[in-house]
Structure 1
Amino acid sequence: MDLKHISHFQDKSLSNLFGLMPDNEEILSFELCNKNGMKVQIITYGATVTSLQIPLSTGKLVDVVLGFDSLEGYLKSYDLPSAPYFGTTVGRYAGRISKGIFSLNDKTFQLNTNNNGNALHGGNIGFGKKVWQVADLTSGENPSITLSLLSEDLEENYPGELQVFLTYTLTEKNELKLEYKATTTKDTVINLTHHSYFNLDGHDSTVLNQSMFIDAEKIVETDADNIPTGNFTDLFNHDFDFRTAKKCPATIDTSFVVEPANNCAAKLLSSKNNLQMSVYTDQPSVHIYVGGNCFDILKGKENAAYHASSGICFETQNFPDAPNKEHFPNSVLKKGEEYHQKTVYKFENIN
């Protein structure tokens, strides 16, 4: 799809005003709802998921993602010592790039650095801080919304004008499906991911009572700055071996190596709500992160006081620093080709 050939979705009767940007640009909120009563709310700021309500077997709805009630909360969160990126779409490159430097076609690019001298999650103004356009919206069975973003050539010093489309679909099987597509005017590097903090007990709870399964034999080894060394760590007898489900750790910021397949890559399980989330992806990694917080400064939705173990991220993506590691999966999107990424978060009531 080409943005220049799309008439942007204009019907605001299906949206709500979520807030105004500093330049008074409107940020809209859209709600998708399936026949089971599952609901997701998405805003045009950062193509961000602000709420994801799952029906329990008791009939009650539980909101399983962290977020803010207002646009102001999201804007202010980026001023924190370490931004939490609640529910955002991360790009142009998710994860860290060492020293913000990579070479492509015999040319070296110096990206903006924003994390201990490294580039993280797209730099100073990543895709989560951008206002996306609504390209399409469907209702009825399996409702969906497609958001688009045009990233200029040399934005954050990345080469190529990048055209991105992200489609969220809410299926009748209680799945939230994310499908990313992108094209570029010049060869570039790309790694897009979704950054919701999940909590199956409810967004105002703790994840430490929930269990996690990850179908991974190895993790990406990193140095003190969380930059990959190029090696992998075998998980046999390792604390992070989650091939048998066990409690979520209090602190983790680790890329698990998964085989892109139809199999479930990871699961989160709540015994309190008898709820299970299964993660499916065509990406080589699920990056697990616990430890994001609001530094006791910002209040979350419904005045929730978020803390370091309020939520857990399942970021389906390529490995961090892949542009600098020849043996890592390809991170280069060539002019004339299309980037494609698909991730599914499926929710089921369990006995």
Structure 2
Amino acid sequence: MNSFFNTCPAINFFGYMPNGAAVNSCELTNKKGMQLKVITFGATITSLKIPLKNGSFIDVVLGFDTLEAYLNSFNINSSPYFGATVGRYAGRINNSTFSLNGKSIDLNSNNNGHSLHGGNIGFSQKQWKIKNVNEGENPSITLSYFSPDGEENYPGDLSIDLTYTLSEENELIIEYVATTSEDTIINLTHHSYFNLDGHNSTILEQDLIVHSNKMLETNEHIIPTGQFLNLENNPFNFNQAKKCPQKIDTTFVLNDVEEYSASLYSANNNLEMLVFTNQPAVHIYVGGNCNNEIKGKENTDYHNLSGICFETQNFPDAPNHDHFPNAVLRKDEVYQHKTMYKFQN
């Protein structure tokens, strides 16, 4: 790490990887007091504190206090991926295989014979490098990761820059830019579990809206069948605000509108989060259960209703369905994904 980072007050030591590599954390605060903490392991958001009208702050994402807990969380049944950056391909790829340019490619399997969230060791478990930190107006941090050709059997050297920005309007803006040395597939997403009543609460009394008229039909392994389900008269129709469901693991096809794609609202804190994205879908997932194996932040026991994910992304298994949005990144193209979470009282 160069002298800039050695003297940057926003960057602190967080822990050591098993191979001895140092993991650092970065803390950003905007002029309204909104505070973001990110670690280089998985480019993971560990804390997001939002100012409330009463002058207090609330941490609205689930996470852990130590690097050891983040590392151990990938060894428990159904790893939660708290706050992580997911790739090279978010969601599931059926039978861990797809065809590209007439060639069949077999990925590593890590979920009932399928590939989930990038395979055995995806981007969420990689050490990212801090490329730049801006502590001025609209503070931001840019992290980078180089995924070599053949990692988890994906083709092409993939270079990614990920920028987290805290706007002065209390927006968390996430921007991904990626290029590849040869044709590959890509689908990046962010995996924070949000809870507007605090990370040690339940999401059941919060209101959910998703601007979508159809969702992906899936089989028993949550693999898309290629069919769409109309949400009219469907219990998962959230075009009008409804309480968060107790169980959901569903990809919603987003309506092509300029307004926000989804929202979460807590009447308890009079706090609303609006989700904006340039991606074609949002995968909604409720969970966070650590099966009492690992304690969350502040010694919290996370349970099945601790948080809700808004995974903005392309469709899972898109490389295996010609009528799904294109997931191929050509070697002369640039992948650009932008998602924003806007918080307002």
Task: With the length of structure 2 as denominator, give the TM-score of the two structures.
Answer: 0.98
**Counterpart in 1 of 2:8?**
13
Give the gaps of 5 or more residues in structure 1: 1-6
The residue type paired with residue 30 of structure 2 is N
Q: Whole-Å Cα distance in 2 between the matches of residues 298 and 72 of structure 1?
A: 10
- Output aligned runs, 1:45-194, within 5 Å: 45-194=41-190
Give the gaps of 5 or more residues in structure 2: none
**Counterpart in 1 of 2:252?**
256
Shift of 1:130: 0.2
Q: Helix, strand or coil: the match of 2:95?
A: helix
Q: Helix, strand or coil: the match of 1:11?
A: helix
**Counterpart in 2 of 1:278?**
274
Contact 2:195 2:202 in 1 (8 A): yes
Which is worse superposed, 122-131 or 254-263?
254-263
- Output aligned runs, 1:294-313, within 5 Å: 294-313=290-309
**Counterpart in 2 of 1:287?**
283
Contact 2:41 2:127 in 1 (8 A): yes
Q: Whole-Å Cα distance in 1 between the matches of residues 248 and 195 of structure 2?
A: 15
Percent of aligned positions with the same letter in both sequences? 59
* CA-atom RMSD in angstroms: 1.1
Contact 1:9 1:135 in 2 (8 A): no
1:89-114: CA deviations, max 9, x gaps?
00000000000000000111000010
Shift of 1:337: 0.7
**Counterpart in 1 of 2:221?**
225
Q: Whole-Å Cα distance in 1 between the matches of residues 312 and 28 of structure 2?
A: 22
Match of 2:333 among 324, 332, 337: 337
Contact 1:41 1:50 in 2 (8 A): yes
Aligned length: 343
Contact 2:283 2:312 in 1 (8 A): yes
The residue type paired with residue 55 of structure 1 is P
Shift of 1:13: 3.5
Contact 1:18 1:43 in 2 (8 A): yes
Q: Whole-Å Cα distance in 2 between the matches of residues 292 and 156 of structure 1?
A: 25
Shift of 1:122: 0.1
Q: Whole-Å Cα distance in 2 between the matches of residues 69 and 252 of structure 1?
A: 27
1:235-278: CA deviations, max 9, x gaps?
00110000010000011000000035431000000011000000
